[in-house]
């Protein structure tokens, strides 16, 4: 019998557990370890949910209105034509990723991805008995995949996961590079899965959809980030028409439908842009505060935080054990962060990720605690 794949758990979960234990002891904790907005769902979405809860039987359901609204979103935002039926609603981007991979690739297939990258890419591939092909993307590549790196892989992988803006770095692939990646993938028959979960969270750089360059790409997205609806568990897979029957067979067997209540609320959230853009304005302020302060902390080498709500910083001058470092930082200051090993099994021991999806007051408080701690850490070394 073949053994189940071994996959690692998130180290950030351990840090978070410690943070909650310290909080229970009465300590003041600032949660910068997870990529989740501290704001709730848009007000109008919550009001709708309250109303619908008393009136709807909540059966298995895919909201035709939400799928039509998503199709309009792609037309307006990206100039991409998609039929409402091409959207498969899921419980967040996580099952959308499983669906995209399971319905596109076979066990043993090789799928390329950037290192550093979102931990679940590597582990979901392994759980599906596929082979992650990690491409080291350091400062010289702005921590992002490039067409040249994909073209250089020999043999060509069966697929690639593109993530822009990316987790943990926030780096964005420029439109010309996206076009070049799409061209290499077309020429080498590499199927693209594009994770666009951080769209809507950019601090100036454009974030085109991969569909503008490759209509056969599978796109995953979610209400967890820009829409600030993490716990509502709602996302989507936008599928090329030729792939739809296959993907529908998978979703019907693996997941069935997304929560009805969340679909009602998500539809309303899509028209709550003023409130949601208000959150983005807060992230932009938080980001600037961090960027101004990090050199004072001695953190001069960071990935370009073009989008999302993360800063991924090199702490190699202070440690070669990012897990121990995050624990010590949390114990001493109450500031919880994510160790780089979650995102990069090779170099992540000398990186740390800060999430700035918290309030500006919390960022200011965190910086007040971090500055003396990092100065001390530098002298201890
Ligand atoms: C890059 C990326 N993709 C997908 C997800 C999964 O998000 P969800 O399942 O909440 O939609 C996350 C969560 O942090 C992420 O960072």
How far, in Å, CA of 311 to CA of 283, rounded? 12
Residue the block writes with tokens 């090329």: 240
Q: Per-residue pLDDT tens, the chain, 381 aa: give them.
A: 567 788 888 899 999 999 999 999 999 999 999 999 989 999 999 999 999 998 888 899 999 999 999 999 999 999 999 999 999 999 999 999 999 999 999 999 999 999 999 999 999 999 999 999 999 999 999 999 999 999 999 999 999 999 999 999 999 999 999 999 999 999 999 999 999 999 999 999 999 999 999 999 999 999 999 999 999 999 999 999 999 999 999 999 999 999 999 999 999 999 999 999 999 999 999 999 999 999 999 998 888 899 999 999 999 999 999 999 999 999 999 999 999 999 999 999 999 999 999 999 999 999 999 999 999 888 876
Q: What phi and psi, each to the nearest 5 degrees, are found at residue 165?
A: -60, 150
The arrangement of strands across the sheet holding 87-90 comes to 87-90, 235-238, 218-222, 191-195, 159-163, 110-115, 131-136
Of 34, 89, 92, best ligand 1 pocket probe by most atoms within 8 Å of the beta carbon:
92
Angstrom distance (rounded) from CA 139 to CA 144: 9
Terminal Cα distance for the chain, rounded: 50
The residue whose CB lies within 8 Å of the most ligand 1 atoms, and thus the one to mutate among 16, 32, 120, 338, is 120
Q: Which atom of ligand 1 is nearest to the CA of 121?
A: 3
Rounded Cα distance, 142 and 144, in Å: 5
Please report the atom of ligand 1 found closest to the CA of residue 36: 14
Q: Look at residue 148 and give its three-state secondary structure.
A: helix
Q: What tokens were used for 60?
A: 């298995």
Atom of ligand 1 nearest to the CA of 91: 9
Closest-CA residue, ligand 1 atom 13, reads 35
pTM: 0.96
Ligand 1 centroid, distance to 375 Cα (angstroms): 33
Asked if 194 and 222 count as a contact pair (C-beta separation under 8 A), the reply is no
Query: 52 near 35, Cβ under 8 Å?
Result: no
* Residue that has been written with the tokens 């996302």 in this structure: 235
Tokens read off for 40: 């709730």
- Protein residue with its CA nearest to atom 16 in ligand 1: 167
The pLDDT assigned to 1 comes to 59
Pocket test for ligand 1, best of 16, 94, 170 (most atoms within 8 A of CB): 94
Phi/psi at 194 (nearest 5 deg)? -110, 120
Token pair belonging to 35:
């990529």
Pocket of ligand 1 (CB under 6 A): 35, 92-94, 118, 163, 167, 195, 197, 222, 224, 230, 235
DSSP 60: S
Distance (angstroms) between ligand 1 centre and the Cα of 190 equals 23
pLDDT of residue 166: 97
Q: How far apart are the C-alpha atoms of 96 and 94, rounded to whole Å?
A: 5
* H or E segment and range at residue 121: helix 119-127
- Closest ligand 1 atom, residue 35 Cα: 14
- Say how many Å lie between the CA of residue 123 and the centre of ligand 1: 13
Sheet with 338-339, edge to edge strand ranges: 310-314, 351-355, 338-339
Atom 7 (ligand 1): residue with closest C-alpha? 93
Across-strand partners of 313? 302, 352
**pLDDT score, position 4:** 78
Q: How far is the CA of 92 from the centre of ligand 1 (A)?
A: 7
Nearest in space to 131 (alpha carbons), one of 163, 101, 90 = 101
φ, ψ for residue 355 (rounded to 5)? Answer: -95, 130
Q: Whose CA is nearest to atom 4 of ligand 1?
A: 93
94 to 104, 200, 222, 223, 252: CA distances (angstroms): 16, 18, 9, 11, 16
C-alpha 247/C-alpha 249 separation (Å) is: 5
């Amino acid at each position: 019998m073949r053994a189940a794949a071994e996959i690692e758990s998130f180290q950030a979960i351990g840090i978070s557990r410690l943070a909650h234990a310290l909080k229970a002891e009465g300590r003041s904790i600032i949660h910068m370890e997870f990529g989740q907005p501290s704001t709730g769902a848009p007000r109008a979405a919550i009001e709708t949910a309250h109303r619908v809860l008393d009136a709807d039987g909540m059966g298995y359901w895919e909201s035709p209105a939400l799928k039509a609204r998503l199709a309009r979103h792609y037309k307006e935002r990206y100039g991409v034509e998609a039929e409402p039926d091409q959207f498969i609603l899921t419980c967040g981007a996580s099952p959308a990723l499983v669906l995209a991979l399971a319905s596109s690739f076979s066990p043993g297939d090789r799928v390329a991805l950037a290192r550093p990258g979102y931990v679940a890419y590597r582990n979901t591939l392994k759980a599906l008995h596929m082979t992650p092909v990690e491409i080291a993307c350091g400062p010289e590549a702005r921590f992002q995949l490039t067409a040249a790196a994909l073209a250089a892989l020999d043999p060509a992988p069966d697929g690639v996961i593109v993530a822009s803006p990316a987790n943990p770095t926030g780096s964005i692939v420029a439109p010309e590079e996206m076009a070049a990646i799409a061209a290499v993938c077309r020429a080498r028959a590499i199927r693209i899965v594009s994770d666009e979960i951080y769209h809507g969270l950019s601090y100036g750089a454009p974030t085109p959809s991969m569909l503008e360059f490759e209509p056969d790409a599978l796109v995953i997205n979610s209400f967890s980030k820009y829409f600030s609806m993490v716990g509502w568990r709602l996302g989507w897979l936008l599928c090329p028409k030729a792939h739809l029957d296959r993907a529908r067979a998978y979703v019907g067997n693996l997941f069935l439908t997304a929560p009805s209540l969340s679909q009602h609320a998500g539809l309303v959230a899509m028209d709550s842009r003023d409130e949601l853009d208000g959150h983005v304005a807060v992230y932009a302020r938080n980001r600037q505060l961090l960027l101004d302060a990090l050199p004072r902390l001695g953190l001069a080498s960071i990935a370009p935080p073009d989008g999302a709500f993360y800063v991924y910083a090199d702490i190699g001058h202070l440690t070669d054990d990012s897990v121990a470092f995050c624990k010590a930082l949390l114990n001493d200051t109450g500031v919880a962060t994510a160790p780089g090993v979650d995102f990069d099994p090779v170099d992540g021991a000398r990186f740390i990720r800060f999430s700035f999806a918290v309030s500006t007051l919390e960022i200011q408080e965190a910086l007040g605690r971090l500055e003396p701690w990092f100065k001390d850490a530098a002298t201890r070394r």
